[in-house]
Amino acid sequence: MTALPQTARQIALAVLGQWRATGRFAAGLLETAFSRSEHISSADRGLASELTYGVIRRQATLDAVLRPQMKRPPEQVEAELWMLLQLGTYQLLFLSPASQHAAIHETVELTRWLGKDRWTGFANGVLRSVQRALGEGTAEAAAADAIPTKAGRFLKLAQPLLPDPKADPAGYIAAAGSLPDWLVETWSQRLDFDELLRMATWFNSPPNTWLRINPLRANPTDVIAALAAADIEATHHDGPMIQLDGTAFVPGLPGFAEGHFSVQDPSAAAAAQLLAPTPGQNVLDLCAAPGTKSAHLAELMQNQGQVLAADSQPDRLKLIAPAADRLGLSIIEPVLVNESGEGFPEGPFDAVLVDVPCSNTGVLGKRPEARWRLKPEEPARLALLQQRLLRQAAATLAPGGRLVYSTCSIEEIENDLVVAGFLEQFPQFEQIERQTHGPGMPADGGFQALLVSRGD
């Protein structure tokens, strides 16, 4: 029996195996693994997270590099061994060149930790072949022997292992950018090669952490000063938003326990800001769990009035009250609704936020599993659910009230077409404002539309 994982590479390999076997989100699996590991350092915690998320994000690129290094086709290699090879290849491609010897040695040692000594020679040979496939220095443009790593930067390969971007631009983006073929083909109908490459590169970069300051308890200047005292760099952006330089273990940040901030991306925060509720109003947040947007609404309302936070998932709904307590917000009331609509709040509400379930195509970097879970038919299927939720939400709005429809998708079928269909069916509503957020400009992608009921 394999011992409990303790090192960063053992944790990453174990979590990747659980992710593939169960389909559960890697974040939760990582936290469970960390809690079971004795005295794990912050450095090992960070490395385990990078390796796990990196392999999930980059698996199509890793596979493109791995396949030519062996005589067997992938389907004839044990799944766990292939995953181990992906883990080693990720380190060789994307970690420091100075760590290549350690990457090979430590990855090969995982075969012994697994009790699979018969894999040792094969894994060592393949990873050394991958090492030889690396070129010298960097490349300046997309090419069959160049992997995009950061904006305008490419890793040089010793030989062309990817599709030629001139002959097969979509194939290059799918392999070098590690995205499903069908999704790249869909995006290619409206985006040029340079924009596809920019988006793919951003989706494969570890996301920075954004914090939304709680104005009832703190201000950006003081939070940035407290972070600086803890050797954490942060930059103030518009309004209540500050950006950390890289990622962080948020519960350990100074001010978190005191409710000085919440984690939220600027594009997500734009939804509550667009709705702009005022103190004393009666507000509905539909699909509210885990309550980040509900809290933002309550903060904008200066904790005066009422925010009904409705959701159909009881486990996630339970997360709302503790978050509200931490932030010192007393006007948020969690409400469980049935997916069939039973228990749906009746209103009337002065303002409604409907942040619908969506394809997540604007947040593929932050939710690395999403790109591989998503199927070609999903956006159209989700659009039907989104239309229903928008109609239900609108029925609760008082005459003259404000409604914001919001997604973290960049698909027209989930955004403009849903709103257009709704406005055609309900001419008493008018679209006042529309916001689109391109992935990486500067944060997550998404969409919001402000709709106002004209009344009778």
CA-nearest of 85, 86, 78, 84 to 59 is 86
φ and ψ at residue 150, rounded to 5 degrees: -140, 170
Residue 73, C-beta contacts closer than 8 angstroms, at least 6 positions apart? 67
Q: What amino acid is encoded at 438 in this protein?
A: G
Chain mean pLDDT for the chain: 95
Share of the chain above pLDDT 70, in %: 99
Q: Could you tell me if 328 and 303 are in contact, meaning their C-beta atoms sit under 8 angstroms apart?
A: yes
What token pair was written down for 379?
Answer: 């956006």
Residue 378, C-beta contacts closer than 8 angstroms, at least 6 positions apart? 359
- Supply the pLDDT for residue 1: 42
Residue 376, C-beta contacts closer than 8 angstroms, at least 6 positions apart? 182, 186
- Supply the pLDDT for residue 167: 98
- CA–CA–CA angle 403, 406, 408 (5° rounding): 175
pLDDT in tens, 397-422: 999 999 999 999 999 999 999 999 99
Selected residue with higher pLDDT from 124 and 338? 124
CATH code for the structural domain at 210-263? 3.30.70.1170
pLDDT in tens, 176-211: 999 999 999 999 999 999 999 999 999 999 888 999
pLDDT at position 454 over 50: yes
pLDDT at position 231 over 90: yes
pLDDT in tens, 428-439: 999 999 999 999
Q: What amino acid is encoded at 314 in this protein?
A: P
Selected residue with higher pLDDT from 339 and 104? 104
Confidence of residue 150 (pLDDT cuts 50, 70, 90): confident
CATH code for the structural domain at 266-453? 3.40.50.150
Upstream peptide bond of 68 is cis (omega within 30 degrees of 0): no
- Supply the pLDDT for residue 396: 96
**Alpha carbon distance 96, 61 (integer Å):** 18
Confidence of residue 456 (pLDDT cuts 50, 70, 90): low
Mark whether 408 is an active-site residue: yes
- Supply the pLDDT for residue 206: 83
CA-nearest of 201, 214, 217 to 241 is 214
Selected residue with higher pLDDT from 42 and 51? 51
Neighbours of 109 (CB within 10 A): 15
Confidence of residue 38 (pLDDT cuts 50, 70, 90): confident
H or E stretch covering 212: strand 210-213
Task: List the domain boundaries for the chain.
Answer: 1-132, 210-263, 266-453
What SS3 class is residue 104? helix
Share of the chain above pLDDT 90, in %: 88
Selected catalytic residue, list 85, 408, 450, 451 = 408
pLDDT in tens, 251-288: 999 999 999 999 999 999 999 999 999 999 999 999 99
- Supply the pLDDT for residue 342: 76
- Supply the pLDDT for residue 137: 84
- Mean pLDDT computed over 89-107: 94
- Mean pLDDT computed over 218-224: 97
- Mean pLDDT computed over 240-261: 93
- CA–CA–CA angle 41, 261, 278 (5° rounding): 160
* Overall CATH class of domain 1-132: mainly alpha
**Alpha carbon distance 381, 238 (integer Å):** 35
